[in-house]
Homo-oligomer: A and B are copies of this chain.
Amino acid sequence: MLVVMRDLATQSEIQHVVEHVHEAGAETHLSQGEVKTVIGVVGEREIVYALDLEGFPGVQEVIRVLKPYKLVSRDFQGEDTVVTVGTASIGGGALGVVAGPCSVESADQMMRTAEAVKAAGATMLRGGAYKPRSSPYAFQGMGLEGLKLLREAGDAYGLPVVTEVLDVRDAEKVAEFADVLQVGARNMQNFMMLEELGRMKRPVLLKRGLSATIEEVLSAAEYVVKGGNRDVILCERGIRTFETYTRNTLDLAAVAALKTLTHLPVIVDPSHATGRRELVAPMSRAGIVAGADGIMVEVHPDPERARCDGPQSLDFEQFATLMDGVRPLAVMEGKRLS
């Protein structure tokens, strides 16, 4: 951490900062120029992060060189984390393809979808039982009944299942039915839920928050890993910007950047990112080239009848076509569909 003092900072103000750092148990290195004094602070992450020197007299700026995360960083672990669920893996060369409807609506819908996405090459099945909706008047999901239908469809076709935990109090119950627990974008900084999932044994699929920085995504993942659960999959699903043509702005440079910063697998959700069916396939493919370890795509037997996210859902044929476009790219990128 660097503490940049104001031009007119007095010697006693500088001394004051230095002493405070020492008391806390960290060390300082002074760089005194004619104009500027900069105090370097070195020490344990926990100690350095607990220092709030911005408010000290004479302090102009505090620059945190140390990252707010450790366990999830590439520096800490060089080789890729591979998250394996049953027969499916994501990371370390294994490309995950998660497909399924926005929300579970019926047994028939789930069975047909599982069959179709399996045939097209998906490695996991998704489906929302608890839906986060901006308005309390929108469809909120089938709940427990939905979880069961999802599980049955997954079992019937040998697909591990992914679903969202919307309420931390439901985490255990959801874990009875799901192989991977999804944290939605709106809960990315629901730290209590992250800690709870950190104590569980199920892999976590952590979606980037609507306005979360890359550093915040990694810090959120750190909560889970620090709790003891190392199986975290990150998911870029678009960020909120001024652009309204697409539902969100898919940040593929974040995918490439994350692959350099962390050993955790990173997947892309082009459906929520774009909100437009015609952009799902190109963005799936671009995501893989950007370095993603997988994609998550909304597929529905009859998108126009979907109870949510119809405009961004693919039908079975469209999904099969998408997969035809994905396969040769996966090969080229040295990824295997497993």
On A, residues with C-beta under 8 Å from B are 2, 4, 27, 29-36, 38, 40, 42, 45-46, 49-50, 52-57, 60-61, 63, 65, 68-70, 132-139, 166-169, 186-187, 189-192, 210-211, 213-216, 219-220, 222-223, 226, 239-246, 249-254, 256-257, 260, 270, 273-274, 276-279, 282-283, 285-291, 303-311, 313, 328-329, 332
Contacting A249 at CB < 8 Å: which of B33, B53, B249? B249
- CB pair A32–B29 under 8 Å, yes or no, is yes
Contacting residue for A166 out of B169, B192, B282, B303, CB 8 A: B192
| Residue among B31, B132, B189, B291 making CB contact with A30, cutoff 8 Å | B31
Q: Is the CB of A68 within 8 A of B256?
A: no
Q: Is the CB of B139 within 8 A of A253?
A: no
Complex-state Cα separation, A307 to B20, whole angstroms = 13
**Are A276 and B257 also in contact (CB < 8 A) when A38-B31, A54-B310, A134-B189 are?**
yes
Please, which residues of chain B bring their CB within 8 A of the CB of A306?
Answer: 52, 55
Are A68 and B138 CB-contacts (below 8 A) given A55-B303, A55-B306?
Answer: yes
Shortest Cβ distance from A147 into chain B, in angstroms? Answer: 16
User: Which listed residue (B31, B55, B289, B308) contacts A286, Cβ 8 A?
Assistant: B289
Chain B residues lying within 8 Å of A52, measured Cβ to Cβ, are: 306-311
